[in-house]
Amino acid sequence: MTDHNKRIPTQHVIGFALSIALTLLAAWTALGSNLSTMWIISSIMILAVIQAGIQLFMFMHVVESDSHNGHVPWNMMFHGAVLAAILVAGSLFVMSFGFTHDHDGENHEQHEQQDSGDHSDMDMEGDGEHEGH
Amino acid sequence: MKSMKQLMKKGLALVPLSLVLFLSGCELAVLDPKGPVAQTQYDLIMYSIIFMLFIVVVVFGAFAFMVIRYRENRPGRKESDYDPHMHGNNLIEIVWTVIPFVIVIALSIPTVDSLFELEKPPEATAGEEQKEPLVIYATTADWKWFFSYPEENIETVNYLHIPTDRPIEFKLSSADAMTALWIPRLGGQKYNMAGMENTLYLQADEEGVYDGRNSNFNGEGFTKQTFEVYAESEEDYDSWVEETQSSAPELTQEEYDELLKPGLTVEAEYSSTHLEFVDHGTNDGRDYAIERHYDLYGDLMHLYSDQEAEDFMDEENDDDHESSVE
Amino acid sequence: MSSHELKTGPLEYRRQEDQMTILGFWIFLGAEIVLFATLFATYAVLFGRTADSTPPMELFEPGIVLIMTFLLLTSSFTCGLAIHEMRRGNAKALRNWMIVTLVLGTAFLGFEIYEFIHYAHEGATMQSSAYWSAFFTLAGTHGLHVTLGIGWVILLLIQLAKRGLTPKTSRKFFVIGLYWHFLDVVWIFIFTSVYLIGMVV
Amino acid sequence: MQLDEFFVTGEPLIYGGMVSIALVTIAILFILTYFKKWGWLWREWLTTVDHKKIGVMYILSALAMLFRGGVDAMMMRVQLAFPNMNFLNAQHYDEIFTTHGTVMIIFMAMPFLIGLMNIVVPLQIGARDFAFPYLNALSFWSFLFGAMLFNISFVIGGSPDAGWTSYTPLAGAAMSPGPGQNFYLMGLQLSGIGTLATGINLMVTILKMRAPKMKMFQMPIFTWSTLITSFIIVFAFPILTVALALMTLDRIFGAQFFTLTGEGMPMMWANLFWMWGHPEVYIVILPAFGIFSEVICTFARKQLFGYKAMVWAIILIAGLSFVVWVHHFFTMGAGAFVNSVFSISTMLIAVPTGVKIFNWLGTLYKSKIKNTVAMMWALAFIPSFVIGGVTGVMLGMASADYQFHNTYFLVAHFHYVLIAGTVFACFSGLVFWYPKMFGHKLNERIGKWSFWFFVIGFHVCFFPQYFVGLDGMPRRVFTIIPEWMPLNIISTIGAFGMGIGFAIFVFCILYSYRYSEREKSGDSWDDGRTLEWATPTPVPFYNFATLPEIDSQDAYVKLKEEGRTTFEEDKLEPIHMPNNTGQPIIMMAFLFFASFGLVFEWMWMAIAFLIGGLIMMVVRSFDYDEGYHVEVDEIKRIERSARGL
């Protein structure tokens, strides 16, 4: 974080190059690779998290000691991320009812709500691959 | 003030006691289970109340001790009764963390257990054969109940008959607002929602007439959205089914659409079900009522509490309501 | 409210009140994360609920989305360069890089508006189904943030021209920098979980 | 739109409300004009950025809202006292329980506590104001205008009537047409902005503006609870903002989030609402815990027992508050597994809460209890809250909750925690810090009367409701059946007891204003432990002439022992203070009218005033006002006269 007197901002250039590369990689993973839907989703989400980290640490100076703000910015980002995870995963977990009913074998709810929530990803694994490209 | 404080403490102890005495005379619906589901919940509530009373007694006792003993002007206060620099004690912190934790575990186990149990039809008592659940589609519309018996091909409005000692599998859904089916003496509630279908198992062990209602607020007629459950022996139930099948009229789609209009309505029965034209619990049926009656939901009934459901039997228009208001 | 000023370190951190403003903005960004997370949660839950309207995989085009992503990534980079120049005390470079950022941001916005109009022509609007409501709200909220950001940068450029680099103007530019990078982070997640996953599933 | 659609017509009670609003407004305008107080009002109050004055305005507004919500409650209790009462009709009853709930939570409990935080927190940590005084004024005006917008609904346009939870699809455009529900959405949205800003403001204030050397674990416990509360506010309020915005889009712009058409998902509203709503409950209870801790320590004249455990308990409760939201809709049918997870997380909250209760009891152990009114409120809290807490655990057991849900058992539970927790704390804190705010104490004798009426009334009102709930009485019914009558009569009597208690409290304020002795010392209760008592009374606008170095909790106890004060003449330096500004009130007035336009879906009005609001933001951006300095001589003069030197 001490490069603010250098003429060439190495850190920014590296960060920029990395984020372009990661974007292309994510696009290729989603549209060009032959991975299954679950793998695609997990890996591109991980790539997105890495990119967010690049922005935070290389561009936004989240842990800069000159700021005299200690760990608070980092702390807010971290807890924000935790909460984001709770919100998204929690909502999907809770709102996917209709699938969890294990009574009688009819499962007619499955049809009406097939696309809501994470379960849909698994349901449609097969066709997803073909329609992707 | 001192004496008042003590009085207050006695008063506090007396309030619950007198209430318990007062209430043991009458039977509180939830604490008067008439079927296995309500019984399971009753047992759990009683089990939890024991722990809760224990906690209340401990805390109230400690509180009374502290407040009485360490008040500033208690006669006979000693110098050693005051220690301003006491900052805490790790051991005792651990003790009063662990004990509540253990209580939470003790409460969690039967809770989880019963949660899974309630998702299945109640089991028959030992020695009796397990009966197939009777399927009833319980559908609400503002502010009435439809009970459809698909196998028997009959439908009732605002009341239902069930056989005793046989699990009832309610298929819950709603034509419009979210509601909940609750028959306190038979067991707890679940929500009815349009476009989704919830399953609720209940069962009556004793014959009788039980109050049921919608317990989730859904607008002006909410309070009046009640129904009665007639739990009767298998034979009586069968003869009621036969009679309804033979004597009740068929439910036409026009009549059903009319019934779906927001408003109160009286009891009725039909020898066919509305499931033939719409199942509100499916994705196709979720907007059936709202598409037909979109503009009617905003109309007010000007409902006062002494108005009986009969006032709203046939007419839905505002003029008639006005006249019954003043 | 002490007005003691440090003699060293980046200009925007020298006065306590500027440190506090920057800290406050970080906390605000924490709130923004939750705001967008709520929109993402809504989007995820309503995913696939397209009713009778066109499903997203028929409308999403990888090309245009990649262009938008690169525009925003580059603008984030130029914004970073602007702040870097600011720390070197180079007001002119700060101004120039900020203008580049503005141009890129506006281009991004233009593509987004084009995209929305295109979808609307294909019968996918805010009103057509739960899925499209969620989509337009999520992408639209991001777009609104970008719009506000552009207006904000313009205001700051005027102030820079009037007052030059002071602790206060530096702090203001630093804060808009944080905001701009944050919008880029949000876009990365929109790109990934809306467009890429929408094209895959 | 016709005039008779614009104004609510046909209800004698509402006509009465209109007349009294008109009379009070005229009276206020007359008094201000007659005594030539307009300039004073503008200079001293409407444009102030002083945290103490803003706090006072928060508390006065909250008391007014308590009155409004209380009148709603009384009307409900009258209607429910006997079967077939025709005091209110169904629709009117629906509106009243909706506004009662919303007003009490959003416009009473939160502003009251935020008001106390405003006044106390900077004083407790040795700060001269908030980190962002301008933003603080903005927050207040956003709250006040939000509250106004919500409150005018009962005379203009009609009140919301879908419950304070506003569940969809009932609250959607189809089933609740008209402006009523829009008032709810816009009122909450507008005041929510202010709450979020206050959260950020308080966090920065506490993190960056503590007295020299004061460590985090030396902060007074009320400051700690404020910090954690602000943390919850920052992370919870955006959820509400989004949820409200989505419903607004649904209702006004035809989106399909929570509708029955277009595959919308009504339960998603409940999910989002409670993701905010549960943390919200802790936003109003954690500061209350902080207040009780301060009051109990002061009047037990003893250090807080288990300070660190108390702090960690608050943090743990705050964390858990974000992972229990589903217990508000266990009956949704999410399945046994989901319910089990949330059942257990819910019951776990009892553990840190229990730790807090026991630590308060530990604080009382070997103490010297002085029976003041503030202390009595705090002591009454402990047993009352325990009843609310244990029934909360019972509600947390999902399979039992199927029987408790939406009944008066639940109503009794949350009134037990919110009144015994939050309202008792508001009274306790107000009485406790009153001399700091207004320079005189509240009359103790009248205060005790009000205390007994309120507390006994409270138990008489709500304890029977547990049983009537077990007897199958659901919440929100507008009339009762004969079986529920005896308990409901008791309940209504209790409610009137609380009403009398509140009336006596108001009388106490007026009486004390006239007759109470003015405070001479800053340490009004003689046992002050924290820095706010180190300032002279009335508190100079800059709070502290010099900032003492802090090296322990209970900073003022240490200062007293060492004979130090916050006025060390040789260390005086000019103090930098912000200028008053009229911008916040003007900006929020613009947003108020923009929201009003949205409520009636008059887009031209909404857009015009929104642009006005944006222009005010631009004005703010170009505002380089750096405040002014108070010179040493003036500080000397002020401090000497305030301290009687």
DSSP state of D579: P
Q: Give contacts of A105 with chain B, Cβ < 8 Å.
A: none
pLDDT band at B19 (very low <50, low <70, confident <90, very high): low
What span, in angstroms and rounded, lies between the C-alpha atoms of D199 and D195?
Answer: 6
CB contact under 8 A, A101 and D207: no
Chains near C, with 3+ CB pairs < 8 A? A, D
Residue-wise pLDDT for D562-615, tens only, equals 888 888 888 899 999 999 999 999 999 999 999 999 999 999 999 999 999 999
Element holding D140 (H helix, E strand): helix D133-151
- How many beta-carbon pairs under 8 angstroms link A with C? 178
* Sequence spans of domains, chain A: 1-61
Given B15, B70, B191, which is nearest D364 (Cβ)?
Answer: B70
Which residues in chain D are contacts of A87 at CB distance < 8 A? Answer: 239, 275
> What are the start-end ranges of the E strands in C12-111?
none
Among B33-47, D2-16, D115-129, name the one with the lowest average pLDDT: D2-16
Delineate the domains of chain B, giving CATH numbers in brackets.
2-73+87-118 (1.10.287.90), 134-325 (2.60.40.420)
Is B297 close to D467, i.e. CB distance below 8 A?
A: no
Q: Which residues make Cβ contacts (< 8 Å) with residue D151, sequence separation at least 6?
A: D65, D68, D103, D107, D187
The minimal CB distance from A94 to the residues D207, D231, D326 is found for D326
- B107-147 per-position pLDDT tens digit: 999 999 999 999 999 988 777 888 899 999 999 999 999 99
Taking the C-alpha atoms of residue D346 and residue D401, their distance in angstroms, rounded to an integer, is: 12
pLDDT at A99 exceeding the cut of 60: no
Res B309: pLDDT? 43
Structure tokens at D118: 């405003």
Among candidates D506, D551, D545, D552, which has minimal Cα distance to D522? D545
B3: confidence class by pLDDT, cuts 50, 70, 90: very low
Taking CA–CA distances from C28, the nearest residue in chain D reads D200
Task: Provide the mean pLDDT of chain B.
Answer: 87
| D174 → chain B, closest CA residue | B294
Of A78, A50, A49, nearest to A63 (Cα)?
Answer: A78
- DSSP structural state of residue D168: T
d(CA D550, CA D127): 13
- Distance, in Å, from the CA atom of D21 to the CA atom of D384, rounded to the nearest integer, reads 36
pLDDT at A128 over 60: no
- Rounded to whole angstroms, how far apart are CA atoms B261 and B296? 7
Give per-residue pLDDT as tens, A101-127. 333 333 334 333 333 433 333 333 333
Give the minimum alpha-carbon distance from D300 to chain C in angstroms, rounded to a whole number: 35
One-letter amino acid for residue D311 of the chain = V
Q: Is the dihedral of CA A84, A85, A89, A90 positive or negative?
A: negative
pLDDT at position B20 is 59
Please give the average per-residue pLDDT across D74-96, as a whole number. 92
Each residue's pLDDT tens digit in chain C (201 positions)?
Answer: 445 678 788 888 888 889 999 999 999 999 999 999 999 999 999 998 988 889 998 899 889 999 999 999 999 999 999 999 999 999 999 999 999 999 999 999 999 999 999 999 998 999 999 999 999 999 999 999 999 999 999 999 999 999 999 999 999 999 999 999 999 999 999 999 999 998 887
| HEC-encoded secondary structure of D89-134 | CHHHHHHHHHHHHHHHHHHHHHHHHHHHHHHHHHHHHCCCCCCCHH
Nearest to D250 by CA among C119, B286, C126: C126
Kindly list the strands in the beta sheet with B144-149, ordered across the sheet, starting from the edge strand earlier in the chain: B198-202, B168-174, B134-141, B144-149, B154-157, B268-270
Confidence of residue D225 (pLDDT cuts 50, 70, 90): very high
pLDDT (tens digit, 9 = 90+) per residue, D390-442? Answer: 999 999 999 999 999 999 999 999 999 999 999 999 999 999 999 999 999 99
According to CATH, the topology of domain D37-581+625-643 is: Cytochrome C Oxidase; Chain A (1.20.210)
Q: What is the pLDDT of residue A123?
A: 37
Q: Is the pLDDT of residue D287 over 70?
A: yes
Any A CB within 8 A of D200 CB: no
Calculate mean pLDDT across residues D516-537.
91
Q: What share of chain B is helix, strand, coil (3-state, %, to 5)?
A: 45, 20, 35
Task: For residue B82, count CB atoms less than 10 angstroms from its CB and return exposed for 0-12, middle for 13-18, buried for 19 or more.
Answer: middle
How many residues appear in chain D? 645
Nearest residue of D to residue A115 by CA position? D263
**How far is C-alpha D453 from the chain's CA centre?**
22
Residue with tokens 């109470």: D516
Q: Report CA-CA distances (Å) from D474 to B222, D343, D409, D469, D489.
A: 10, 22, 9, 7, 16
Radius of gyration for the alpha carbons in chain A, expressed in angstroms and rounded: 21
More confident residue, D244 or B127: D244
Q: What is the DSSP string of C140-161?
A: HHHHHHHHHHHHHHHHHHHHHH
D159, pLDDT greater than 70: yes
Answer positive or negative: Cα dihedral of A12, A16, A17, A19. Answer: positive
Q: Which of B141, B182, B180 is nearest to B41 (CA)?
A: B182
* Contact criterion met (CB below 8 Å) for D467 and D478: no
The residue type at D298: T
pLDDT, mean over chain D: 94
Query: How confident is residue B76, by pLDDT bands cut at 50, 70 and 90?
Result: confident
**Inter-residue contact C67 to C111 (CB < 8 Å):** yes
| Confidence class for position B320, pLDDT limits 50, 70, 90 | very low
How far, CA to CA in Å, does D469 sit from each of D282, D480, D483, D484, D485?
24, 12, 12, 9, 12
CATH class of the region C62-200: mainly alpha
More confident site: D223 or A120: D223
Tell me, yes or no, if A71 comes closer than 8 A to chain D by beta carbon.
Answer: no
- Cα gap B183→D472, rounded to integer Å: 9
Q: Where are the domains of chain C?
A: 62-200
Dihedral sign of CA atoms D537, D538, D544, D545 in order: negative
- Residue D1: predicted pLDDT: 58
Query: pLDDT at position A111, please?
Result: 38
Interchain contact A109–B (C-beta under 8 A): yes
